[in-house]
C-alpha cells in the first residue's frame, strides 16, 4: 500500500514538474525571440529612417540601447536557463525513482527539447557584434 501511494505522489509531482518545465521552456524562448526582435529593430532603425533628422542625429544611441537590451536579456536568459535545467534534472530524478528509466525507441517530448548555454551566449555575442557593426557604419556616415 505504501509503494502505491508513493508512486502516485511521484507521478503527481512528475506531472506538476513537467508543467513547470514546459512553462519555463516557453518563457525562455519567448524572451529570447522578443529580445532578439528588439535588438534587431534598434539596429536597423537608423538605416531605415535615413531622412529623419532626429534619427540620423541620435542614430548612434540605438546601437548602444540595443547592446544594453542584449546584456539585460542575457542575464535574464541565464537565470531562466538555470530554472529550466533544474526542472529538467528533477524530472529525470523522479522518473528514475518511479522506474521510467528504460530506453525508448524514440525520445519523448521532454527528451527531444534541448536548451544549452550556447543559446544565450550566441545571442549575446551576435547582438554585441551587430551593435558594433551598426555603430561603425553610423560613424562612417
**pLDDT (tens digit, 9 = 90+) per residue, 77-119?**
889 888 888 888 888 787 777 776 555 545 455 444 567 777 7
Structural domain count of the chain: 1
**pLDDT (tens digit, 9 = 90+) per residue, 23-72?**
888 888 899 889 999 998 888 887 777 677 666 677 778 888 888 998 99
Helix-helix angle 2-48:61-98, to 10 degrees? 170
CB count in 10 Å sphere of residue 67? 21
Q: Is the pLDDT of residue 1 over 50?
A: no
pTM over 0.95: no
Task: Measure the CA–CA gap between 73 and 40, rounded to whole angstroms.
Answer: 13
Instruction: Report the residue count for the chain.
Output: 141
The helix/strand/coil state of 86 is: helix
Please report the pLDDT score of residue 114 as a whole number.
63
28: containing domain:
2-140
Task: Measure the CA–CA gap between 108 and 92, rounded to whole angstroms.
Answer: 12
Amino acid at each position: 500500500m505504501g509503494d502505491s501511494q508513493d508512486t502516485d505522489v511521484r507521478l503527481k509531482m512528475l506531472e506538476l514538474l513537467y508543467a513547470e518545465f514546459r512553462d519555463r521552456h516557453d518563457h525562455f524562448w519567448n524572451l529570447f525571440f522578443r529580445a532578439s526582435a528588439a535588438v534587431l529593430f534598434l539596429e536597423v532603425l537608423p538605416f531605415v529612417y535615413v531622412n529623419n533628422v532626429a534619427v540620423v542625429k541620435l542614430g548612434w544611441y540605438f546601437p548602444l540601447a540595443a547592446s544594453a537590451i542584449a546584456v539585460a536579456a542575457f542575464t535574464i536568459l541565464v537565470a531562466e536557463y538555470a530554472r529550466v535545467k533544474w526542472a529538467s534534472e528533477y524530472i529525470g530524478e523522479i522518473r528514475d525513482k518511479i522506474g521510467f528509466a528504460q530506453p525508448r525507441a524514440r525520445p519523448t517530448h521532454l527528451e527531444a527539447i534541448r536548451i544549452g548555454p550556447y543559446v544565450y551566449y550566441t545571442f549575446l555575442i551576435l547582438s554585441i557584434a551587430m551593435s558594433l557593426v551598426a555603430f561603425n557604419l553610423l560613424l562612417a556616415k
